[in-house]
Amino acid sequence: MNHPLRANLEITILNGTEWVRCSKCQRQHCRADEDWRQFCKVRLLPPTKAGSLMSDLNGQYLLRQFYCPSCAVLLDTDFVEEHSNDAGRA
Amino acid sequence: MSVNPIISSVDPITFEILSHRLYQIAKEMGTALERVGGTVNTTQMHDYMASLYLANGDVLSAGDSMGWHVACAGFAVKRIIERFENNGGINTDDIFLLNDPYLAAIHQSDVYMISPIHFRGQLVGWSATFVHVMDIGAMSPGGNSPGATEICHEGIRIPGIKLVDRGELRKDLFDAFINMTRQPVMVGLDLKCEIAANNVAKARMQALYEQFGPELVTAVSQEMLHYSEAILRRRIAEIPDGTWSDTGSIHAGDTWKVHVTLNKKDDRLLFDFTGSSPQAKKGINLPYHATFGACYESILCTLAYDLPKNHGALKPIEVIAPQGTVVNPTPPAPVSLNTTSGGATVKFVANSAIMQMLATSEKWRGEVMALNAGHRLARHAGINQHGKYYVSTLSEGALDGTGARSYKDGDDTGRGLSCHNIEWLEANFPLLYLFRRNTTGGAGAGRYRGGTGGESALTVHDAPEGKIKGVALGVAGLRNSGQGMFGGYPGAPSLLMLKEGTRVAEMIAENKSLDQLDEIGGSGRLLPYCEFDVGKNDILYMRMSSGGGYGDPLEREPERVLNDVEDGIVSGEEAKEIYGVVIEGDDLVLDLAATDKLRASQRQERLQETK
Amino acid sequence: MNYVVGVDIGGTFTDCVVVDEGGKVTIGKSLSTPADFAQGALNAADDAAQNVGLKNADELLSTTQLFFHACTIGDNTLITRAGARTGLILTKGFGDTLHMMRGKIAEGLTENEIAHRSALDKPEPFVPRKLVEEVPERIDYKGTELIRLDVKAAEQAIDRLVSKGVESIAVCFLWSIINDDHERQLAELLKKKYPKLFFTLSSAVAPYLGEYERSATTVFNAYIGPKISSYLKNLQRVLHSKGLKREPLIMQAYGGVLGIEATCKNAVGIIESGPAAGVVGTRFLGEHIGEKNILATDMGGTTFKVSVVRDGVIERDYKPVILRHSILSTKIWVESIGAGGGSIAWIDPDTGLLKVGPQGAGASPGPVCYDLGGIEPTVSDADLVLGYLNENYFLGGRMKLNKAKTIEAVREKIGKLLKMTEVEAAGGIYRIANSHMSDLIRKATVEKGHDPRNFVLLAFGGAAPVHASRYAAELGIRQVVIPLTASVHGATGLISSDVVYEYGKSDHVVVPVEATRVNENFSGLLERALSDLRAAGFEESDVLVNRSVDMRYRYQVHELNVPFPAGTTAITVQEMEGLSTLFDDLYEKAFGQGSGYREAGKEILTFRLTATGLLKKPDIKAERVQRSDGAQALKGQRDVYFEEEHKFVSTRVYDFTKLHPGVEFDGPAIIESPVTTIVVNPKDRAAMDEYFNIRIHLGA
């Protein structure tokens, strides 16, 4: 059954398989059992891109953003420790 | 429309009336606590609990109490039953005291009073309260002790004593308890008010039993539990099955992780904290019952917000927390800092998982809200301008901004408790506030922005010792404050900063306003979990959490961004950089055409830079 | 013949009560005229005048000794956001004080609303952030000036506000309650440059601790001030032109009246003054019937309100919540919930449970039985189905009720879903509504340490006499009083009022405190009081002075108001000790034995003085009492469903207009009057007293 996943992402069923797709441009990102973040455009930015009060985080963290590769809508924002392979939520 | 009634053994009218009466009684208890006790913790921070229980210790009605405390108090009642039923007995008009974090309390400052309710000689139920007392005889004043490495550093720890014996206060035990603390008078007052609140509950419940009879009250009680459980299960079952997870960090010198995986299948929820760090030699550890309580609270605030808070709402929830971790420590791991560190983080990840779950349901996605993961706060102590020693809390937490919702902004400085008026603070403590206001640039950006948090600064004034002592609490670093949701940006970090050697005194002498920190000089350092002094020409700066945003800021209506800039919440620069909205000149004119253009180019930019 | 006149302007109706020298009471009524309320006042006066036997309002007003007035214009202006464009000036660094609201997002919300956290929002502010200006200045807790008022910055701030079209300015500086120099300096600047601009200083309108609440109070005053001023001055002009010689006296929210000038200075004092009139009337009635402990309950169409008179004194609220803001203006204490004759009964789709309210059907479309298009069953509809209301004699026959339609609505919308008959469903609605009201009364009394069994319950408002006996019985109350003037209770209260001035001063002192300090504080307040009352035309011998203090145990936040013995003589050391003991007693009464921790010590925070200019009260005539069983007033019988009997019972119906003082009969009975229906339950007994009030003795 079709249902939302989160803002700008929804689960849709095609030929019996569940897919994750963009709610804005309908781009099919991946199957529902895959990690949609792996199928997004990702950017790493300095923390102050999130506002001047984030300057304390300079040198320690990077701002990470995930976008729809087709319409560029922002899907997720988090921070990662600058010198690690940390999978988010610093 | 045909409806299957949830209630079967009692007529729905009587159920409605009696269940409301039980809720009222629990509320009256809470009001009695607030009014009688009236300390900063109870009145401003709502850091108390008052609830009713069945004879076996299951939660019957929790009024408006904070969810996790209700669950913990349920454990407390059961611990008292175990300890006393065959040893000392549980008699009419007894009242028990317990504050052991390894049994039911979250940390020792949370002092529980547990009171059996008898009707015609039979034990029919319990009432329980807790209050966060102002001191508990720990290493640091106020209880939260950054220097503690084991639980014995953290104050008196009672596994259960009979403080009131058949209506008689045991003065020896009462005095022994308060004697351990730095504030025996205030702590004594807190204990007295808990006794009063429990007496209120007992009297009301006995009157209820008298009026309706034990059979009917028991039947309604059972139906209330069944009611909450049945409706909650139905609601859970309506949501698509799935698994969601999140990780939070506790920064307190070192870093510890809290990881949760939420699994929903049919009408059951399983929170699994496997993957969380081993327990610490710092008071951040959260006992199992509190971890459980945090998960319970995340449901009470969302799926069960309109249901009676009782044991029934607990039944669909299961919590796995491996022993020896920060979320299920074993003695002698210390706990005194936990509510604002481990506790805040557990609540955050549990809520985050729940929010992700709710977002998948058409019916419930309106309840999604970006969450705060804590804030910094400080206890302070010293001799006040009237010559009296005091210990208190700088309770600015009410000024946290709340997170954005899926359909509207968060609220600026609107967490819903309350903080003191500046005038009240300056009348009671040797302080002078320089400012207290909204934080410009604090709010997490998004299609819907978070609420901005408050910031304040103070120095000492007329302090007989020339200074006051502070204890800095709350998770430091990034992982406090509001976390963004589904693309939304986080709120600015909450922080405590001490500026030393400033020109405050000089500037006052020059009749210069003190509201711009940059102009006051001195050298600033961020305060981790620690003790610190605020002396002459020192300034303590506190910034509360700001709420996280929801969704993509490039989708926020430009007119809303204009309002934000006019109100001083968002700066003109941020409007451009983050929202792609162009606002020109001193009279703040919105340029829609330039905005469209800028946003288009920002979208392109997103897709261009390489990973 | 001289008259005393009271005009009470409500949301729908304007009532006028006239009492002549012999104590005879006459009533007039007219629809309220929101476009120009004064017109409705004149219409009601006209109606009353004619009922008295005079030609018109002119004849009445020219022989009026005292003219009292209550209106809802203060509330309306706030609720409809129709006040002045208001600016706010605060201490630099604290410009967000009003908007922060100390974080209190949940203030003034119902329990259900608070539980729904994701939906919480702060109320829309009365002053947008862009109309708040911050001025450099600073005073400390001792009243010492730390930073001078920056006059240039102040002038620029005022200019900016005026350039933005501000019509009224509120000023609130930190610690102005101890040292008001800076606020007064600012006032001088305003008066010099913008003499026509309305402004309010916090130190004048609410000289009490707490800059958030004080600024909110000051803002409310500045916001409604211009409108109140123009309304009252116009009213005075109009009445004067019609022959009224003396100044109209205006009801304040704390249950006393003030002249026009004094009211205009303190406009915030008339917010929610309507209910105050009713409670004053309650106390007055209590004096006549010898009851000092009264619960005044008002069950209207949508709201149920409770106020308390204890030992002949109206209970007050010193920090009322108005439109979700805590303010520092004295008010009678009122608890209210959304429960009334128009409350809608509905089945919760989630749970299948029957709920009543808080949504109401309002005046339009109204209950189903009014046949004005209402389709949702209400409490009044249940009352009709149960047989309490007479479909052929509602409002004295002026309105016919559609019983068939009502029965169908209750059956289809409620009964069927609960698998109950319409009668059982109506009984359930009735019971649930009553339990909401008794729960509220319980909250109002028990939480304050009062035992409801020690009170009589007064019932006014349209629907109350149908329900009062039941919600009173729940609490063990033994007597319900339904006054003759129940339908115009507010106006009746007006004419029994005194002129009352309230004064206060924040001064934080630890007990024991020297009596000299206490007397200094009070004498300052007394001086102002005597001056004001003298200007209002009172001799010192006609002035009653009450002094009290707000006290608390140290380290606590909550305060209790503790009275001194009445009078103006200097407070003695013994009286101070007596005060301390009284506080301990009051505290334990409110919160339980042993709840006070005397070792904590006590402190006083606020000194209060109430000065009452006693007015001659109308002498309400007591009729001769003649015992009878009321048989001559019997107009018939009908079957009425009584919950406690679980069945329909054949019930006597009486015509109120044919009852006389001394009549007494047992329930079950119904008394029908042109303005209300009174239900007497099976185990109760009804009597009419010498003032034509109906007294119901419960369980007699």
Q: What residue spans of C56-100 are helical by DSSP H?
A: 57-62, 73-79, 97-100
Mean pLDDT in chain B? 92
Lowest mean pLDDT across B558-562, C309-313, C461-465, C689-693: C461-465
For residue B13, the chain C residue with the least C-alpha distance is: C428
A65 touches chain B (CB under 8 A): yes
Q: How confident is the model over B246-279, as pLDDT tens digits?
A: 999 888 888 899 999 999 999 999 999 999 999 9
Which residues from chain C sit within 8 angstroms of residue B200, using beta carbons? 592
Average pLDDT, chain C: 92
Q: What is the mean pLDDT of residues C451-466?
A: 92
Give B25-61 pLDDT, tens digit per residue.
998 888 778 766 656 566 656 678 899 999 999 999 9
d(C-alpha B51, C-alpha A5), whole Å? 37
Q: Which helix (H) or strand (E) holds C213?
A: helix C211-241
Which residues in C401-462 belong to E strands, given as ranges? 456-460
Q: How confident is the model at residue B490 (pLDDT cuts 50, 70, 90)?
A: very high
Structure confidence by residue, pLDDT tens digits, B325-342: 999 999 999 999 999 899
Closest to B115 (Cα-Cα) out of B21, B205, B18, B190: B205
Residue C249 has pLDDT above 70, yes or no: yes
Closest by Cβ to B192, choosing from C418, C446, C594: C594
Which chain B residue has its CA at the smallest distance from A86's CA?
B247
- CB contact set of A36 (below 8 Å; sequence gap of 6+): A5, A9, A20, A29, A30, A75
The whole-angstrom separation of Cα C407 and Cα C386 is: 10
pLDDT > 70 fraction of chain B, expressed in percent and rounded: 96
**Residue B478's pLDDT is what?**
63
**Under 8 Å between Cβ of B262 and B343:** no
What pLDDT is stored for residue B27 in this prediction? Answer: 86
- Say what the pLDDT of residue B1 is: 39
Residues B277-320: tens digit of each pLDDT: 999 999 999 999 999 999 999 998 899 998 888 999 999 999 99
pLDDT bin (cut points 50, 70, 90) of residue B479 is: low
Residue A1 has pLDDT above 80, yes or no: no
Handedness of CA C547, C550, C551, C554 (dihedral sign): negative
Say what the pLDDT of residue C24 is: 83
| B128-176: pLDDT as tens digits | 998 889 899 999 988 999 999 999 999 999 999 999 999 999 999 999 9
Q: What would the pLDDT profile of B436-474 be if each residue is shown by its tens digit?
A: 999 999 999 999 999 999 999 999 999 999 999 999 988
Interval C49-76: pLDDT, tens: 999 999 999 999 999 999 999 988 999 8
Please give the angle made by the CA atoms of C275, C280 and C285, to the nearest 5 degrees: 125
Q: Which of B246, B362, B526 sits opposite A4 (nearest CB)?
A: B362
pLDDT of residue B156: 96
Q: Is it the case that residue C35 has pLDDT exceeding 90?
A: no
Q: What is the mean pLDDT of residues C466-474?
A: 95
pLDDT of residue C210 exceeding 70, the answer is yes
Angstroms from B368 CA to nearest CA on chain C = 7
Q: Do A7 and B442 touch (CB under 8 A)?
A: no
**Given this model, what pLDDT does residue A89 score?**
45
What pLDDT does residue A90 have?
38
The whole-number pLDDT of residue B488 equals 96
Residue with tokens 């953290």: B154
Q: Which two tokens stand for residue A74?
A: 């922002």
Residue B235 pLDDT > 90: yes
Among B555, B592, B588, B552, which Cα is nearest to B569's?
Answer: B588
For every residue of B80-127, DSSP letters joined together read: HHHHHTTTT---TT-EEEE--TTTT-SSTTEEEEEEEEEETTEEEEEE
Under the phi-then-psi rule, with left for phi > 0, alpha for psi from -120 to 50, and beta for the rest, what region is C356? beta
- Shortest distance between the Cα of B390 and any Cα of chain C, in A, equals 9
* pLDDT at position C482: 95
Burial of C4 by CB count in 10 Å (0-12 exposed, 13-18 middle, 19+ buried)? Answer: buried
Residue B427 has what pLDDT? 92
Residue C163, chain B, CB below 8 Å: the answer is no
Residue B549: the pLDDT is: 96
Please name the member of A43, A56, A77 whose beta carbon is closest to the beta carbon of B493.
A56
Model confidence at C177, pLDDT cuts 50, 70, 90, reads: very high
At B2 the pLDDT is 43
Structure confidence at residue B43 (pLDDT): 60
The percentage of residues in chain B with a pLDDT greater than 90, rounded to a whole number, is: 75
Note the pLDDT tens digit of each residue in C671-692. Answer: 998 888 999 999 999 999 999 9
> Before B334, cis peptide (omega within 30)?
no
Taking each helix axis from N to C end, the angle separating C573-591 and B12-37, rounded to the nearest 10 degrees, works out to: 150
Nearest CB partner across the interface for A53, out of B249, B492, B550: B492
Are the Cβ atoms of C93 and B434 closer than 8 angstroms?
yes
> Are A and B close enough to touch, i.e. 3+ CB pairs under 8 angstroms?
yes
Q: Which of B4, B421, B438 shows the shortest C-beta gap to C96?
A: B438
Res. B429: pLDDT tops 50: yes
| Shortest distance, CA B69 to any CA of chain A (angstroms) | 27
Higher pLDDT, C397 or B105: B105
> What percentage of chain C reaches a pLDDT higher than 70?
98
The bridge status of strand C456-460 relative to strand C294-299 is parallel
Please give the Cα distance from A29 to A26 (Å, whole number).
Answer: 9
Residue C8: its pLDDT value, please?
A: 92
A25-64 pLDDT, tens digit per residue, is 999 999 999 999 999 999 999 999 998 899 888 888 899 9
Pick from C128, C352, C435: CB nearest B5: C352
Check if the beta carbon of residue B375 is closer than 8 Å to that of residue B369: no
- In one-letter notation, the amino acid at residue C551 is M
Average pLDDT over residues C125-147: 97
Which residue of chain B comes nearest to A63, CA vs CA?
A: B489
**Can you tell me the mean pLDDT for C189-194?**
97
ipTM of the complex: 0.93
* Mean pLDDT within B223-230: 94
The per-residue pLDDT for C597 is 65
Mind giving me the DSSP string for B192-249?
A: HHHHHHHHHHHHHHHHHHHHH-HHHHHHHHHHHHHHHHHHHHHHHHHSPPEEEEEEEE
How far does the CA of residue C385 sit from the closest CA of chain B (Å)? 17
Chain pair A-B, CB pairs under 8 angstroms: 112
pLDDT value at C594 more than 80: no
For the stretch C111-122, what's the b/e string if a residue is b when 16 or more beta carbons lie within 10 angstroms of its beta carbon? eeebbebbebeb
Residue of C nearest to B514 (CA): C93
- pLDDT for the residue numbered B37: 63
Q: How large is the average pLDDT for residues C195-205?
A: 96
Interface of C with B in 219-278 (CB under 8 A): none
Q: Which residues of chain A does B493 touch, with a Cβ-Cβ cutoff of 8 Å?
A: 53-54, 56-57
Joined together, the tokens standing for residue B421 give 């008026």
More confident residue, B398 or B599: B599
Q: Would you call B365 and A41 a contact, using CB atoms and an 8 Å cutoff?
A: no
Closest approach of chain A CAs to the CA of B380, in angstroms?
Answer: 25
Q: Read off the pLDDT of each residue in B558-564 and give the average, rounded to a whole number.
A: 97
Residue A88 near chain B (CB below 8 Å): yes
Four-point Cα dihedral A37, A42, A48, A51, nearest 10 = -60
pLDDT band of residue C604 (cuts 50, 70, 90) is very high
Q: Which residues of B touch C417 (CB under 8 A)?
A: 1-3
Can you give the pLDDT at residue A2?
A: 84
Strand-pair partners of C678: C671
Compute the Cα dihedral for C96, C99, C100, C102 and give only its sign.
positive
Q: Which of C94, C112, C352 sits opposite B436 (nearest CB)?
A: C94
Residues of A in contact with B490 (CB under 8 A): 50, 77, 79
- Please state, in angstroms and rounded to a whole number, the distance separating the CA atoms of residues C339 and C443: 15
Structure confidence at residue B122 (pLDDT): 94
